[in-house]
Amino acid sequence: MGGLYGNAAATALEDCPEEARGLMSGILQQGYAFGYLLCAAFARGLVDTTSHDWRPLFWFGACPPVLFIIWRLMLPETQAYQERQRLRAEAGADGKGKVFIKEGKVALKHHWLLLVYLVLLMAGFNFMSHGSQDLYPTMLENQLNFSKNKVTVTQVVANLGAMTGGTIVGFCSQSVGRRISIILCCIVGGALLYPYTFVRDSSIIAAAFFQQFCVQGAWGVIPIHLMELSPGAFRTFVVGTSYQLGNLVSSASSTIEARLGERFPLPDNAEGETRYDYGKVICIFMACVYVYVIVLTFVGPENLRGKFDVAHDSDAKEAMGTRAMDQAGRHGRSMDEENVLRDSTEKPEVAHMRD
């Protein structure tokens, strides 16, 4: 599963028109929120409602990978990947493998600090999503006495907010910039922490919608932000690895919040069960995470509208040589000229139809 994210991001975004990158990034990332929504709904419908206990949910979860396999088999590789492979074959007399390794050495030499930065950034982002989501159902059930149905409704509404936020903010980031979009989402999300964690009636559902709008709004920028910052030869590796290493670091978020919760005990409920003030814990934890992400995003780089084709890759030029890159440039120009010629031959027809 860990190997899918980087490849999925590259497949979706490498050949994407520049104007649509932000929008497509937001839509791609909100597959996470849509999956969370489906899981919450089907968990309520399938778990503890049959004699098979939790197993039906896993049976349902086994179906989407089959669809992914069929879908991927029907699609070709991206044009950016095919062009890079062609140049590797032309530049490497000893084989594409050695050129690939040489590109890796060049990328690490020039971009090792960037790789460290991206891992730290993704750790913050994963803390942001897990910190706001993992213990939230427990808080709703223990502190607000929500029924299982009401908890499910709250989670579904929150993920609808996430899907909306990721798409809208991803689209807007194409105009206002990746970093400013992330920072604004964190600021607004921080302002919404109080109603998200301290409201004690059903109106908390609205707070959940807008909090996840901000959390996943910032996340909607991430796929294209990582793609634009990553070295061309190792784009899928950098995107996927930074995401998963960030996931690894943030895997302790639930444990951290649970341990912090022990410092804020509440009176036992009617059944005598021990309770903790997880709302206060989530608020404190998320405030720290938001500040961390804002600072790291502010001091970090941005490469808005960066080129993905190999002709604009300085690392590839160093690894493959000037001759191969000149060929790539000529190939790119010929493609542009072909597009211009096609457009020019189409325009008279449009004008004629308009007359």
Which comes out higher in pLDDT, residue 180 or 11?
180
Share of the chain above pLDDT 90, in %: 52
| Other Cβ atoms within 10 Å of 220 Cβ, number | 35
Q: β-strand 275-276 against 265-266: which pairing, if any?
A: antiparallel
Share of the chain above pLDDT 70, in %: 83
Average pLDDT, the chain: 85
Tens digit of pLDDT for each residue in 12-71?
898 899 999 999 999 999 999 999 999 989 888 888 788 888 888 888 888 888 998 998
- Residue 38 one-letter amino acid: L
Tens digit of pLDDT for each residue in 103-150?
677 777 778 899 899 999 999 999 999 999 999 999 999 899 999 999
Interior/surface letters 301-334, b for 16+ CB within 10 angstroms, e for the rest? eeebeeebbbbebebbbbbbeeebbebbeebbee
Which comes out higher in pLDDT, residue 321 or 169?
169
Give the number of C-alpha atoms closer than 13 A to the C-alpha of residue 42, restricted to the C-beta side. Answer: 14
Q: What local confidence, expressed as pLDDT, does residue 46 receive?
A: 86
Tens digit of pLDDT for each residue in 235-275?
888 888 899 999 999 989 999 999 999 999 988 877 778 88
For the segment 159-188, the average pLDDT, to the nearest whole number, is 97
Q: What local confidence, expressed as pLDDT, does residue 331 receive?
A: 53
Q: What local confidence, expressed as pLDDT, does residue 277 receive?
A: 94
pLDDT at residue 100 tops 70: no
Tens digit of pLDDT for each residue in 328-352?
555 554 544 444 444 444 444 433 3
Taking CA atoms, 161 is separated from 42, 44, 55, 209, in Å, by 19, 20, 29, 5
For the segment 142-160, the average pLDDT, to the nearest whole number, is 94
Q: What local confidence, expressed as pLDDT, does residue 340 receive?
A: 43
